[in-house]
Structure 1
Amino acid sequence: MKNMQCCVAALSLVMSASAFAQDYPSKLVKIVVPFGAGGIADLTVRTVAQKMSESMKQPIIVENRPGAGGIVAADAVAKASADGYTLLLISNGTAVSAGLFKKLPYDTLKDFTPISTLGFFDLAMIVNKKLPVKNAADLIAYARKNPGKLNIGTINRGSTQNLAAELFVSMAGIDALIVPYKGTPEVITAVTTGELDAAVEILGPTLPQIRAGNLNVIGVTSAKRFSGLPDVPTVGESGLPNYQAASWNGLAAPAGTPKAVIDRLNKEINTAVSNPDIRKRLLELGVVAQGGTPDAAKNLLASDIAKWGGVIEKAKIEKQ
């Protein structure tokens, strides 16, 4: 009798979850973004969310909650109802924070259910036009001939750009100074004027200066070439095999969100990022649209936590 009651209760829960999923979404969906408005991540999620909203026939709003390395936004979503109506924009920055902070108010892997990636965007290795290098191999050779003289700019310590530069210096075995700047505009200006020899920066914001001929781009940091600049090699193929430091965005829900809801959202995301107009718009931002399965997103997050945690330790970046 007791076993039968348990079976009935379990069946009731399954039917209840199924009914909930069939009705989902029945109201506004909110995506919390741990970055300010107008950046690559923000524009990416807004572009995809608009298409999802049209398909799901419910409004999707984006709430920007920057601060504390993404902790403010992530903590809010971790504590939200696990019903699919509050989602979080996750990224490689989410993984970095797991290794950069001594303690987080949530468990990055246990308190969220990744849904899918939205897209990947390259970092670019840019150099001052007067620097006599054409690719990553040249830059490494230059650094070895001039130990301690090469300076590479990035934004703040612990950022993806900064860790990508640290990874490059470590793997290349060169003596170079990594210089943190306040923001991307300052980094680009410093390379353009020659204050910096080189920099590692998100490709999108550098494209106007590259196309205007004010900067030289000697490589992209992902595993594949960026289709918008097909003649620019990857750092891996042009001097440092196995080097990779791509940036990405995705969506996650609070842990415990019904699987049927996760599956519905995953389907909507993949449909949106497969749309030719969406792909074109994202490519203009320097983003290669790419969805995937929830498991793939979870594995990517976990592997990046391990990867960047190791870089942080090796670079002796003080935890906050």
Structure 2
Amino acid sequence: MVVPFGPGAVQDTVARTFSQELGKELGASVLVENKPGAGGTVGTLQAAKAPGDGNTLVLAAASHTLAGHLYSKLGYDPIKDFTGVAYIGNSGYVIAAPSNLGVNNLADYVKLLKSKPGQFNYASAGNGSATHLGMAYFLSKAGAEMQHVPMKSTGDAVNEVLAGRVQGVTSAVVGLVGFKQDPRIKLLAYTGTQRSRFMPDLPTAAEAGVPGYKFDSWIGVLTPSTTPKAEVDKLNAALNKVLALPEVQQRLANLGVESGPNMSVDDFQKLLKADYEQAGVLVKASGARIE
């Protein structure tokens, strides 16, 4: 199973919550391979070119559909070159800053950013990643400016904030849920329309002073579109069975993932197509573009 981001990314952490159980269900080992680079497009391109024999899976998220609108020379079509095998769930994002910045809420953070346009930096998991677009979209909604510092993974980006080397990051809940009590970092807002059940005390961005801002990510498993339907259906059944296991559900919840519902291949493909259209709107609003 290809994870197109490095350790600490949403895809990487989620993939490891069920890979062992999936292997048992399929009667074969499921190896999680990290292939990071260029906002997830390096590993995804390799997967797109892999044989459609059912042996190549991709743990994907919102960055997959965003890439189709960000890159002028992507090398693959996010929709046509992949088939959605199974929907895992959804994860909202969290906006965070280093504690040494001295801000305690999102309103103060935005005020500080506006007072020094372009003088602060934010880190992401790479150009075109969801962590890049989520922050760029936030800044456009807030009317603020920051410089982008692309890293190789969400874990690297969060570490830059923890060290105080950059002044902001947006990460899926899974990337920050373990730092709620860490004195080095301040969690400022949740990016969903409602507060996360995993962080009920954290206000939404809209509540905290940036109305109209919403950003979250689906998480799912894809395979090359050349994979025969019978094989895709087999994988869908196996994944849905594994994802319904109580222990897997609990692991996903511990990571801040709102799991389910189980989807058929057709329903997940419809979700991907709808998200691809929405991704185009988001990219246009953020003004981001990668040649």
Q: What's the TM-score, normalizing by structure 1? A: 0.74
Label 1:224 to 1:264 Cα distance change in 2 as closer, same or farther (>3 A).
farther
Label 1:157 to 1:261 Cα distance change in 2 as closer, same or farther (>3 A).
closer
1:76 correspondence with 2:46 = yes
What is residue 3 of structure 2 aligned with on the other side? 33
1:120 correspondence with 2:120 = no
8 Å CA contact retained: 1:116, 1:296: no
One-letter amino acid matched to 1:264: K
8 Å CA contact retained: 2:136, 2:288: no
1:93 correspondence with 2:101 = no
Label 1:300 to 1:219 Cα distance change in 2 as closer, same or farther (>3 A).
farther
Extract unaligned runs of 5+ from structure 2.
Answer: none
- Write the distance in 1 (CA, Å) between the matches of 2:30 and 2:155: 31
Label 1:192 to 1:257 Cα distance change in 2 as closer, same or farther (>3 A).
closer
After the TM superposition, which of the residue ranges 174-183 and 188-197 deviates more from structure 2?
A: 188-197
* Count of aligned positions: 288
8 Å CA contact retained: 1:153, 1:178: yes
Deviations 1:171-192 (A, max 9, x none): 23x2332442536566545545
Matches within 5 A, 1:50-65: 50-65=20-35
- Write the distance in 1 (CA, Å) between the matches of 2:34 and 2:157: 24
Label 1:213 to 1:276 Cα distance change in 2 as closer, same or farther (>3 A).
farther
Label 1:115 to 1:237 Cα distance change in 2 as closer, same or farther (>3 A).
farther
Correspondent of 2:246 among 276, 286, 296: 276
One-letter amino acid matched to 2:254: E
Label 1:263 to 1:213 Cα distance change in 2 as closer, same or farther (>3 A).
same
8 Å CA contact retained: 2:252, 2:258: yes
Extract unaligned runs of 5+ from structure 1.
Answer: 1-30
1:297 correspondence with 2:271 = no
Alpha-carbon distance, 1:114 to partner: 0.7
Q: RMSD over aligned Cα, in angstroms? A: 3.2
Alpha-carbon distance, 1:232 to partner: 1.3
Correspondent of 2:180 among 186, 210, 213: 210
Alpha-carbon distance, 1:86 to partner: 2.3
Higher relative contact order (CA 8 A, sep 6+): 2
After the TM superposition, which of the residue ranges 45-54 and 121-130 deviates more from structure 2?
A: 121-130
What is residue 177 of structure 1 aligned with on the other side? 146
Alpha-carbon distance, 1:131 to partner: 5.8
8 Å CA contact retained: 1:163, 1:308: no
One-letter amino acid matched to 1:280: Q
Matches within 5 A, 1:1-320: 31-37=1-7, 39-129=9-99, 134-140=104-110, 146=115, 148=117, 151=120, 153-155=122-124, 156-172=126-142, 174-182=143-151, 184=154, 187-188=157-158, 191-192=161-162, 196-293=166-263, 294-320=265-291
Partner of 2:234: helix, strand, or coil? helix
One-letter amino acid matched to 1:114: G
Alpha-carbon distance, 1:164 to partner: 0.9
- Write the distance in 1 (CA, Å) between the matches of 2:169 and 2:120: 8
Q: What's the TM-score, normalizing by structure 2? A: 0.81
Partner of 2:31: helix, strand, or coil? strand
Partner of 1:110: helix, strand, or coil? coil
- Write the distance in 2 (CA, Å) between the matches of 1:185 and 1:113: 28
One-letter amino acid matched to 2:145: A
8 Å CA contact retained: 1:152, 1:165: no
Partner of 2:32: helix, strand, or coil? strand
Partner of 1:127: helix, strand, or coil? strand
